[in-house]
């Protein structure tokens, strides 16, 4: 009676009218100008992004050779001839790993405290503002503060000490420590928002079973926000990879990673080196090296890393949540609780 498939003609056979008719041609001039400006802005945005990506793609492909990725930089005067940027790549990976390893546990713990405990109230508010403040502080300021801290005598084990007794203060430890401050606000905010979304009945159910708050957090709440923690950590990693100021100030700016002392990993971490970002900075006309081709190649690799990380974040925020949302948080959370009755 009421449903009929295509074609759509009126019962009397008359033609149907249906296109939306808020015709822009009928608008006053000012409105039409506004409409055009919006379109222009949108198109400009796409064009600019396309230009940047294409430009870097072209330059990168033309200058990137696989040999660059596996050779260490040579300390010759003419940078464009010799060596690759293996050490900077290693430096980037090392620094990112160090920074993330420091930031992730502290960030998650901080977020859990702010979300679940938050006592005394003045401390919670101050910590909140403090974390927001770090997010707003320029990384240069973090860098020079880091230099101050790590040049102190009691932290000399984290970097080298020169013959005259003054602590060098620049090492992977120093840079990694300050980098973790960069990633911290991102991890804290992602985790906090996710924890706030967990409905109250999940926590109540866990307490009603006799679990302590600590166990609830560790075994019920945090596992259920794992994707959000992961995406926060990835965002933080992106920020660390892209930062140059801290590296320039705190990593010693030696082309090759130079360890200090004997122990295998520790010596590298206590030593100096460079990352892709400082490599690009140094090889650009601003720095001392004069190898724009290598700078382009390194910048291309950097960009690929960042794009890859972005893709991971997109997949993390769209993929697992789709499946996780199908299961109710209660079941997810209760699954992790162990009582004498569950086997």
Partner 1 sequence: MHAAPAGESSGARPRSPAPARSGTQSDRRTERVLGALAAGVLGLIALMTITVFAKAWPSFSHNGLTGWFQSGGDVDQQLREMLTSGTQGGHPTYHLRAWPLLWGTILTTGLAVLIGIVFSTFAAIFIVEFAPAPVRRVIEPIVRLLGGVPSVVYGLIGILAIAPWVNHHLLSESRKSSVEYLVQLAGSNLSTATLILTVMITPIMVAIVSSSLAAVPGPWTEGSAALGVNRWRTIWRISLRTARPAIIAAAVLATARALGEAIMLSMVSGGRGFAANPIDGITFLFEPVRPLAATIVQNSEALSAPSLGRTLYAMAAVLMVSAALLSLAGWAAKQPLKRYGIRA
Partner 2 sequence: MPPPVRRIAIDRPPRVLPPSANGAGATAAGSPNPRRRLARPPVSDVIERMRIESVSLAYGARWVVREVTLPVRRGEVLALIGASGSGKTTLLRSLNRLTEITAGATRAGRITLDGEEIERLEVNELRRRVTMVFQQPNPFPMSIFENVAYALREENHGIGLGRARRRRSRRELEPDVVDALVRAGLYDEVAADLDHPALRLSGGQQQRLCIARALAARPEVLLLDEPCSALDPLSTATIEELIVGLRESVAIVIVTHNLQQAQRVADHVAFMHLGELVEYGSSEQVFDNPRRERTREYVSGAFG
Which residue lies nearer to partner 2 by CB, 13 or 164?
13
Residue 272's SS3 state is strand
Among 54, 57, 101, 148, binds partner 1 (CB under 8 A): 148
264 touches 272 (CB < 8 A): no
Single out the residue of 306, 310, 301 nearest to residue 57, CA to CA.
Answer: 301
Residues 10-39 that bind partner 2 (CB under 8 A): 10-12, 14-23, 26, 28-30
DSSP code at position 15: P
Peptide bond into 195 cis (omega under 30): no
Site string for partner 1, 41-60 (x = CB under 8 A): xx-xxx-xx--xx-xx----
Site string for partner 1, 235-274 (x = CB under 8 A): ---x--xxxxx--xx-------------------------
Residues 57-96 that bind partner 1 (CB under 8 A): none
Least distance in Å: CB of 272 to partner 1?
A: 13
Which residue lies nearer to partner 1 by CB, 9 or 166?
166
251 touches 273 (CB < 8 A): yes
Among 74, 97, 113, 290, binds partner 1 (CB under 8 A): 113
Q: What does the alpha-carbon distance between residue 14 and residue 62 come to, in Å, rounded to a whole number?
A: 63
Single out the residue of 268, 271, 274 nearest to residue 249, CA to CA.
Answer: 274
What separation in angstroms does the CA of 32 have from each of 20, 40, 44, 45, 256? 17, 12, 18, 20, 59
Give the number of other Cβ atoms within 10 Å of residue 121's Cβ. 8
Residues 293-312 that bind partner 1 (CB under 8 A): 295-296, 299, 302-303, 306-307, 309-310
Which residue lies nearer to partner 2 by CB, 21 or 119?
21
Which residue lies nearer to partner 2 by CB, 23 or 342?
23
Two tokens at 63? 């200058």
By CB under 8 A, the count of residues binding partner 1 is 90
Among 66, 138, 153, 264, binds partner 1 (CB under 8 A): 138
Instruction: Summarize as ranges the residues that interact with partner 2 (CB under 8 A).
Output: 1-6, 8-12, 14-23, 26, 28-30
């Amino acid at each position: 009676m009421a449903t009929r498939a295509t074609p759509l003609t009126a019962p009397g056979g008359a033609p149907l009218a249906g296109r939306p008719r808020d015709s822009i041609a009928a608008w006053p001039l000012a409105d039409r100008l506004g409409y055009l400006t919006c379109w222009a802005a949108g198109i400009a945005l796409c064009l600019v992004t396309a230009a940047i990506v294409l430009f870097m793609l072209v330059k990168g492909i033309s200058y990137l050779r696989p040999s660059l990725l596996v050779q260490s930089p040579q300390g010759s005067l003419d940078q464009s001839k010799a060596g690759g940027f293996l050490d900077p790549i290693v430096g980037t990976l090392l620094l990112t790993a160090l920074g993330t390893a420091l930031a992730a546990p502290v960030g998650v713990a901080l977020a859990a405290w702010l979300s679940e405990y938050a006592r005394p109230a003045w401390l919670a508010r101050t910590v909140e503002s403090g974390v927001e403040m770090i997010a707003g502080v320029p990384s240069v300021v973090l860098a020079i503060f880091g230099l101050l801290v790590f040049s102190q005598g009691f932290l000399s084990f984290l970097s080298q000490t020169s013959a005259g007794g003054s602590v060098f203060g620049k090492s992977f430890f120093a840079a990694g420590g300050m980098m973790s401050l960069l990633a911290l606000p991102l991890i804290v905010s992602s985790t906090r928002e996710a924890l706030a979304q967990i409905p109250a009945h999940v926590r109540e159910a866990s307490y009603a079973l006799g679990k302590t708050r600590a166990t609830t957090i560790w075994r019920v709440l945090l596992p259920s926000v794992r994707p959000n923690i992961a995406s926060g950590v990835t965002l933080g990693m992106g920020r660390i990879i892209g930062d140059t100021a801290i590296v320039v100030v705190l990593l010693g700016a030696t082309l090759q990673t130079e360890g200090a002392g004997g122990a295998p990993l520790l010596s590298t971490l206590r030593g100096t080196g460079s990352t892709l970002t400082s490599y690009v900075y140094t090889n650009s006309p601003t720095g001392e090296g004069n190898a724009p081709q290598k700078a382009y190649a390194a910048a291309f690799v950097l960009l690929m890393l960042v794009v890859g990380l972005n893709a991971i974040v997109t997949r993390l925020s769209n993929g697992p949540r789709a499946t996780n949302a199908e299961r109710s948080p209660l079941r997810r959370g209760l699954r992790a609780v162990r009582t004498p009755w569950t086997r």
